[in-house]
Amino acid sequence: MPDPVVLLDRVSRTFAGTTPVHALRHVDFRLEAGEYVSVVGPSGSGKSTLLHVLGLLDEPTDGLYFLDGINVALINDAERTGLRGDRIGFVFQDFHLLRHRTVTENVLTALLYNRFPRRERHGAAVEALERVGLGHRMDQTTDKLSGGERQRVAIARAIVSRPSLLLADEPTGNLDTATSESVLEVFDDLRSDGLTLVVVTHDETVSAHAARHVRMVDGFLSETTSGRGTR
Ligand SMILES: Nc1ncnc2c1ncn2[C@@H]1O[C@H](COP(=O)(O)OP(=O)(O)OP(=O)(O)O)[C@@H](O)[C@H]1O
Ligand SMILES: [Mg+2]
């Protein structure tokens, strides 16, 4: 059996302070390749903290995290950065694009600091943009794009390195319903191609696209449904 993409074993994340914040409490979570999971829960319940830990932007204060079978507590900072660049794609609510750069340049920024072969970078950017339906916008600067197009550029940037895990934090939070649909269709396609997806959302419509649903409450994670094809 291949390793799960994600295995969290009683992971906790406590933020120190006069009143310590228990953002994650004893979280067990296993994610197989190709799963599409939504994460819902109240504000402050630990959803973003969970994504940051999964995306190697933050570390557990307790418990173990295995990414593709690798115990990430045992690797050094350079290895961690390399692993993040190779295996993780991140999509944020507010896109995080460079405004005065072209669509293609924005996608290429994801490959600047990883081990992706230099000669294959441009072709990979074109391929990623075609996958999100933006093959015709490659030379446009991003300030001239609609919100939905911007988010699709951000998705292309997140998938260009061919990660094993795509993490999205409220990816449709700044989009209207019609525009959100174009982003959700892209996620559906990526899922069909075998990518593993974790999407944090407060929107039921967005959550319904996932086959598996988890809920965070006060740092605790619980499974609300599981199994494929619940849509
Ligand atoms: N860097 C930090 N330092 C201290 N406390 C933090 C930090 N990051 C998050 N927290 C706290 O951890 C808890 C969980 O925060 P988190 O951002 O994960 O919540 P969330 O579920 O994503 O909320 P929202 O829906 O509002 O985005 C909150 O109480 C938050 O204030
Ligand atoms: Mg959050």
- The pLDDT tens digits of the residues spanning 112-124 come to 877 889 999 999 9
Q: Which residues of the chain have pLDDT under 50?
A: 227-231
- Whether 171 lines ligand 1, by a CB cut-off of 6 Å, is no
Quote the pTM value: 0.94
In the chain, what are the domain boundaries? Answer: 6-96+161-225
- 92 vs 167: CA distance, rounded Å: 9
**CATH homologous superfamily for the domain 6-96+161-225:** P-loop containing nucleotide triphosphate hydrolases (3.40.50.300)
Q: Are 104 and 154 in contact (CB under 8 A)?
A: no
Residue 226's pLDDT is 54
- Whether 43 lines ligand 1, by a CB cut-off of 6 Å, is yes
Ligand 1 atom nearest 49 alpha carbon: 18
- 92 vs 94: CA distance, rounded Å: 6
Name the percent of the chain in helix, strand, coil, to the closest 5.
35, 25, 40
- Structure-token pair, residue 128: 């990623």
- The pLDDT tens digits of the residues spanning 127-166 come to 999 999 999 999 999 999 999 999 999 999 999 999 999 9
Q: Whose CA is nearest to atom 31 of ligand 1?
A: 44
Residue 229's pLDDT is 46
What per-residue string of b and e applies to 135-149 under the rule 16 or more CB within 10 Å gives b?
eebbeebbeebebbb
